[in-house]
Chains A and B, each alone.
With several copies, the nearest count.
Chain A
Amino acid sequence: MINKEVKNAVEACKDIKSGMTIMLGGFGLCGIPENCIQTLVNKEINNLTCISNNAGVDDFGLGLLLQKRQIKKMVSSYVGENDEFERQMLSGELEVDLIPQGSLAERCRAGGAGIPAFFTPAGYGTEVGQGKEVRKFNGKPHILETALTADYAIVKAWKGDKAGNLIYKGTARNFNPPMAMAGKITIAEVEELVEPGELNPNEIHTPGIFVQHIFQGEKYEKRIEQRTVIKN
């Protein structure tokens, strides 16, 4: 067994530097690597390119990095819910590359899977397709999309073992598995870190081979963005 355990987020993130490209798992505030994000805020590095489906809210998630102007460029599919983001984008301080959500997920998986490019119908005939190669398959036009990789991928799982194997919970899985594949170095923070052999090898979502550093997060707020309930 190759032991991937590190002490904490600080140790896991110690070689992340200004100017790097970082993928971060999560959908909205669900399944985001809270501890590593806080550590990146504390490190005060900047000029980051962040690949993440969303950009958090003003005071949580990637919003914390935006507040401190640590992000140079966001690569996302949807970036609402964030006033500071809007301000920086409209003022031109922040570059934004908007990518259809399915293409974003597939481009990350492709990056991890050694597939440099693939054809998809999404975005054909729109500004997303501008400048991209178009080809028809079965009479339907598709555009060529290229793989995404990152200096670091930072993902959040429910349980993990010291070999780096990960299990996610519910819809907190989302972008974490494809991004875990696509990091040159992948950091996984988990709610519960166990010994190798404690996870059923049949139930693992992300094989440890994709993970270089793993640690149990100190605490998880797991903030809910839209609390919709039925009154009892």
Chain B
Amino acid sequence: MALDKNGIAKRIAQELRDRWYVNLGIGIPTLVANHIPKGISVEFQSENGILGMGPFPIEGTEDADLINAGKQTITSLPGAVFFDSSTSFSMIRGQHVQLTVLGAMEVSENGDIANWKIPGKMVKGMGGAMDLVASADNIIVAMMHTNKKGESKLLSNCSLPLTGVNCVKKVVTNLAVMDILDSGGFRLIERAPGVSVEEIKNATAGKLIVEGHVPEMSIS
């Protein structure tokens, strides 16, 4: 059975490592924070200027001066710190953030990503996404395998305007976990529970590399 959004977030949470600073994009990536594996410490950076982000505030305690990059009211944890936007992107550009998780409209088999602009539609802007994808060493894309029309979002080449080139290292979708190889191609690592290699192949327009046995994800 294909994963739901929470399932994708759960699977990505397994990629977290102890002592990592992590930037989570809006949408599915945000859900990753709910599934941090036991026994590890990670800290979340929000590019509008906070490290050590906590949960939403108890009703009545919300503070207009304390939001995340999605403009939601949040809280800060002990050890948190506030900083300005140029310092925030110094952390990102300077590769002090160990993992970036973000959504995408399209990903190509050489790691290009498109997630900010659809020609002919209102363009809202790239926000911090271009800085994040151009800077991070470790980028995981969290998205559905296909779009609403059922078309694959994993392509040979992106058709939409790019957000960044050659940057995505891993893609986790409702159907599969795939590494993007330096030499090009989506290498199938894991299947969603009950999803066959064939189904994944059919949903992948770009080059899918299947080697040997591909295990099912284990997400509890």
A6 at the interface (CB under 8 A from B): no
Closest chain-A Cβ to B181's Cβ sits at a distance in Å of: 18
Q: What string of 1s and 0s marks CB contacts (under 8 Å) between B77-91 and chain A?
A: 111111111111111
Question: Contacting chain A: which of B126-134, B192-200, B207-215?
Answer: B126-134
Indicate the size class of the contact surface on chain A.
Answer: 35 or more
The interface residues of chain A, by DSSP majority, are classed as: loop
Is B128 within 8 A of A101, CB to CB?
A: yes
Q: Closest B residue to A86 by CB, please name it.
A: B122
Asked if B92 contacts A222 (CB within 8 A), the reply is no
Q: Could you tell me if B124 and A178 are in contact, using CB atoms closer than 8 angstroms? A: no
- CB pair B58 A123 closer than 8 Å: no
Report yes or no: A208 in contact with B79, Cβ–Cβ below 8 A: yes
Which residues of the other chain, B, contact A122 by a CB distance below 8 angstroms?
93, 130-131, 134-135
Q: Does A70 belong to the interface (CB within 8 Å)? A: no
A125 to B85, CA, bound (A): 24
Question: Considering residues A122, A169, A205, which has the most beta carbons from chain B within 10 angstroms of its beta carbon?
Answer: A122
**In the complex, what residue of chain A is closest to B131 when comparing beta carbons?**
A102
Cα–Cα, bound, A201→B124 (Å): 32
* B44-76 at interface with A (beta carbon < 8 Å): 45-52, 55-74, 76
Instruction: Give A227 to B85 CA distance when docked, in angstroms.
Output: 22
Q: Are B73 and A228 in contact (CB under 8 A)?
A: yes
User: Are B78's CB and A195's CB within 8 A?
Assistant: yes
Give CA–CA (A125, B108) in the complex, Å.
14
A147's nearest neighbour on chain B, judged by CB, is B94
A197 to B130, CA, bound (A): 33
B165: chain A residues at CB < 8 Å are 124-126
Nearest-neighbour CB distance to chain A for B87, whole angstroms, equals 7
Which of B1-9, B144-152, B156-164, B171-179 forms contacts with chain A?
B156-164
CB distance from A219 to the nearest CB of B (A): 13
**Is A217 engaged at the interface, CB distance under 8 Å to the other chain?**
no
Cα-based distance from A30 to B93 in the complex (angstroms): 24
Q: Are B43 and A106 interface neighbours, CB within 8 A?
A: no
Let me know if A154 is at the binding interface, CB within 8 A: no
Complex contact B65–A174 (CB within 8 A): no
Looking across the interface, which residue of chain A has its beta carbon closest to that of B75?
A230
Contact A78/B43 with A27-B49, A103-B131 known, Cβ cut-off 8 Å: no
Q: Are the CB atoms of A207 and B93 closer together than 8 Å? A: no
CB of A114 closer than 8 Å to a CB of B: yes
- Check B125 against A80 for contact (C-beta < 8 Å): yes
B43 contacts A170, C-beta separation under 8 Å: no
Q: B65–A1 contact, CB under 8 A?
A: no
User: A205's contact among B84, B112, B163, by CB below 8 Å, is which?
Assistant: B84
Which residues of B approach A to under 8 Å, CB–CB? 19, 21, 41-43, 45-52, 55-74, 76-97, 112, 122-131, 134-135, 161-166
- 3 closest cross-chain pairs (CB), A and B: A197-B78, A114-B93, A102-B89
